[in-house]
Structures are given as structure tokens and as C-alpha cells.
Amino acid sequence: MKKNKTKNKITKYHKYSFFNIGTLLFGTIFIYMVITAFMYMTEKHVTVYEVMKGTITGNYRFQALSVRTEEVINATQSGSVRYFEREGGKTSAGSVVCAINETGAQEPVVIDDFMLSEEDAARLQNTIANFTINYKNSAFQKTYDLKAGVDGIISEVVEDSTGSDYVNVRNQCTAPDSGFVLYEIDGFENLTEDQITADMFDQTKYDATNLRSQKNVAAGRPLFKLVTEESWCLYFPLDQKLLTELADTEKIRFRFMKDNETFSAPFSVIHNGEESFGKISLDNSLVRYATDRFLEIELVMNKKSGLKIPSSAIVERTFYKIPEEYAIKNQDTDQEIVLKVETFAEDGSSEVKYITANVYSHDDHDYMIDAQLLHPGDFVQMEDSAKRMQIQEKEAQTLHGVYNINKGYAVFREITVIDENEEYCVVESNNIYGLAAYDYIVLNASEVTADQIVY
């Protein structure tokens, strides 16, 4: 037998060098990613805002001063007071409002069945809620006004529950005229229109006395107050912007924030020295608001729509105005022009060169370009002509705009504000040199400079 001989075949593999084109590319990409990540983490990040269409939410709000025809009724004798009439209620002439016990002792009231109605419960809730919302540590004394107000409401409910017969009450105090009964005095009872000042609207200085908080009254002292006419007025301060906006307004629509009721009423502007005030004249609905000296109102005005942006995004930049005839138009885009500029060196020599300028605004006759491209004393020459214009610093103009970052760097875009409040502006749209809906802008313009790369 023949033996099979097997040959062992050994293949030697080729050894590749570690440093090859693949390793080099991977290493380059890795180093780039590390550098990019480091720059991203160490760079100051910019907050971005997406531009949307809209209007200014919320209209002008004021704490309006209510001025009515008021008459303070004083006590004719001293003693403890028992009130019968509901505050804010309408009473007729000769009706019993309260009674005075000259002995100074309060007569006990026995209640067989006491229950708060839904209306009375709502009044108590509103009184406490208003105090809570407007409470300030600096005006802790208002807590006593709250107590007096709550006591007054409960006293009214008690009187209704006991069914007091006024005929048998001694020392009756009656209303000399018909009107709304109030139990608070504040020094504004005889206020006239020409006496109104801006200082009166400072709520921290307002002080009112609740007459029902006094256990005893002295003869000749205020007992209650009557609002004797249905016509009344609301006044609120005007700044220059709103004064201009309302200059030709004869009728205004507004809303009482207390109950969200909306009214239209005659409007006028009064001037007391250098201060101006809006005046709303009313001849109805006093029954709703007779108990309030100050009423929060909101002017319901026609708001213009456009692109809504935050005020913090607005920045000012300086530009030069270049007449159309001095510009060489770019046939491919309306956002760039070319200028033929003659510049001068310190030794007096001149050089003519062509520069490309971005257009930030354009009307029928002129282009606005960045002031940093030119220097005072330079000449812009008209192509194929000997005419030229000299750049002068006094002719520089300021535009308002924002920094658009759609392309990853800050590009100034002009805006035209059509409405604004303290936080937001509404600007015009449909301008090729301005903004469009869904553009991205820098929320705080102070965080970047022009042409800065934004992360």
C-alpha cells in the first residue's frame, strides 16, 4: 500500500501599515468633532426666537379713578350706630339708613334663622379675594378695612334676617335725597376735574375710612355717604404715546376687569398743566360699581396684525443712504449692489475701487447700506459719469432692526413697528429686506454682533 503524503501549505498574509488613508480621514473627522464639541460647550449660546404672525395680546390697562356726585351725611347726635341699608344699594329720599343709640350701647340682635344667600356669599368672596390680590406688606393697615368690610356685609345680612321694623326705631337717620348708599369716605367726595393729578393714581398713597368700623359716632362726624346722580366719569393718566393715539377719539370701548363687562362710552382728553388724562363719561351702570373708587379697566382698541417679535430683539444700526443712480445693480439679486468708491490715504493719494454692499432698505430713490463700508470723506462715483457724491458723517441714519440667523450667522434685518407694548412689538411683513413668518432671530440683540456666527 502507498501512503498518501499531505503537503502543508502555509500562506503568508500581507501586513498593512496602521497609517493609511482611512485612518487619516477618520482621525481628521474625529479631531474636527472634538474641536467642534469643545467650541460648542465653551461658546456663549444665543437664545433663538421664531417669528410668528400675531397681534399684541392684552390692551392698555389702568386703575381708573371714579368721580361721582357725592354727598356726605353727618351725624346730628353722638352715640352708637346701627346701619340698616345695604352698601351700594339705591335708597329713596326719606328712607331710614341707620339709627343712633344716644346711650352708646349696642342693642343685642337675636337671630332665629341665619343663612347667607348666594349673592351675599359672592360679595364676601369678592371682598376677600380683592384684598388678597392687592395685599402688600407696606399697607398692612388695609387688613382693618377688610375686617370692616366683612363686618358690614354680615351686618346687612343680619338686618335682613331680623326683619327690623324701622318705624319703631328711635333716632332714625334718613337719606335727604335719593341715591346709592356708601359707607366709605376718602377725601375725593368733592373732587373736580381740574384738581386731578397723576399722584392720585398711586395706590400706595390711597387711604379710605370705612364708617361702619366705628363703634360710636360723634355729632357732626360723617355717618354715611350718598351718590345722588347716575352720571359719573372715569379718569386715567395718559402718556405721550397713548395721548397721540387717542387724540381724535370721541368714543371708546373698554372693559371692567371686575366683572368682565364691556361698554362703549364718550371719550375726551383733559389737560391739567403738563399732565394729561383720559375721561370716559357714563350715564348708567353705576349700580354695579358705586362701591369702588378705583376700577381696573382695559381699553379695547383695534390692534394691528403683523409679525410679533420681542422688544429685546430690536437693535439700532447706522447706515448711509445711497441714491439709485450711484448704485450698480446686481442682476441676480435685489439685496446687493456694487459701488464705485474713491478713497483717500493719509498721504493724500486716492484709490478707486468697487465694493459690494448688502442692501438693508430700499425705497423708490435710495438704498441703505452699512455705514462701516464707507468712511466720511469718501466719494461714491456714478458709473460712466463724472458725477460723484461725498460721504458725510452727519448724513448717517439709524434703522431699527433685528438679527436674522437663518443662515447660521447674524444678519441685520430692518423692521417697521406698527404696534407695541412693554414686551412685544408687531412689525410689518411682506418686505424683502425685512422679516418673514418662521424666520429665526436673536431673542436678545445685545448678545451678538453683526455677521457673528451663531451656535
Q: What is the DSSP string of 78-97?
A: -EEEEE-SPTT-EE-TT-EE
pLDDT tens column, 81-119: 888 888 888 888 988 888 888 765 555 554 555 566 777
User: Average pLDDT, stretch 49-75?
Assistant: 88
Task: Indicate left, alpha or beta for 168 from its phi (over 0: left) and psi (-120 to 50: alpha).
Answer: alpha
For residue 13, tell me if it sits in a domain: no
- pLDDT for position 57: 60
CA gap 43, 404 in Å, rounded: 19
Residues 246 and 312 reside in one and the same domain: no
For residue 336, tell me if it sits in a domain: yes
CA gap 289, 175 in Å, rounded: 20
**Which of the four pLDDT bands, split at 50, 70 and 90, describes residue 167?**
very low
User: Average pLDDT, stretch 338-351?
Assistant: 89
Reply yes or no on whether the pLDDT at 203 is more than 70: yes
pLDDT tens column, 399-452: 899 999 998 899 999 899 888 877 889 998 877 788 999 999 999 998 888 888
Residues 187 and 94 reside in one and the same domain: yes
CA gap 177, 95 in Å, rounded: 9
Q: Which of 277, 299, 321 is the last residue of a domain?
A: 299
Residues 197 and 121 reside in one and the same domain: yes
Residues 78 and 170 reside in one and the same domain: yes
For residue 14, tell me if it sits in a domain: no
**Which of the four pLDDT bands, split at 50, 70 and 90, describes residue 353?**
very high
User: Average pLDDT, stretch 173-179?
Assistant: 92
For residue 17, tell me if it sits in a domain: no
Q: Which of 299, 334, 354 is the last residue of a domain?
A: 299
Residues 175 and 288 reside in one and the same domain: yes
- pLDDT for position 379: 93
For residue 19, tell me if it sits in a domain: no
Residues 145 and 160 reside in one and the same domain: yes
Q: What range does the domain containing 146 cover?
A: 61-106+115-299
Q: Which of 250, 274, 299 is the last residue of a domain?
A: 299
Residues 266 and 357 reside in one and the same domain: no
Residues 162 and 198 reside in one and the same domain: yes
- In the chain, what's the furthest Cα-to-Cα distance? 153
Residues 271 and 412 reside in one and the same domain: no
Compute the half-sphere exposure of residue 455: CA atoms within 13 Å on the CB side of its CA. 10
pLDDT tens column, 4-47: 555 566 666 555 555 667 777 888 888 888 887 777 676 667 88
Residues 216 and 271 reside in one and the same domain: yes
Alpha carbon 324 to its chain's center? 41
Average pLDDT, the chain: 83
User: Average pLDDT, stretch 370-375?
Assistant: 90
The CA-to-CA distance between both ends of the chain, in Å, stands at 84
Q: What are phi and psi for residue 390, nearest 5 degrees?
A: -95, 140
Residues 407 and 360 reside in one and the same domain: yes
For residue 24, tell me if it sits in a domain: no
For residue 71, tell me if it sits in a domain: yes
CA gap 359, 338 in Å, rounded: 10
For residue 15, tell me if it sits in a domain: no
* Domain count for the chain: 2
pLDDT tens column, 115-156: 667 777 776 777 777 667 666 665 555 565 566 566 656 665
Please list, residue by residue across 380-390, b when 16 or more beta carbons sit within 10 angstroms of its beta carbon and e when fewer do: bbeeeeeeebe
Residue that the C-alpha cell 381708573 belongs to: 64
- pLDDT for position 315: 94
Residues 394 and 265 reside in one and the same domain: no
Cα distances (angstroms) measured from residue 78 to each of 101, 167, 183, 220, 390: 8, 21, 17, 8, 89
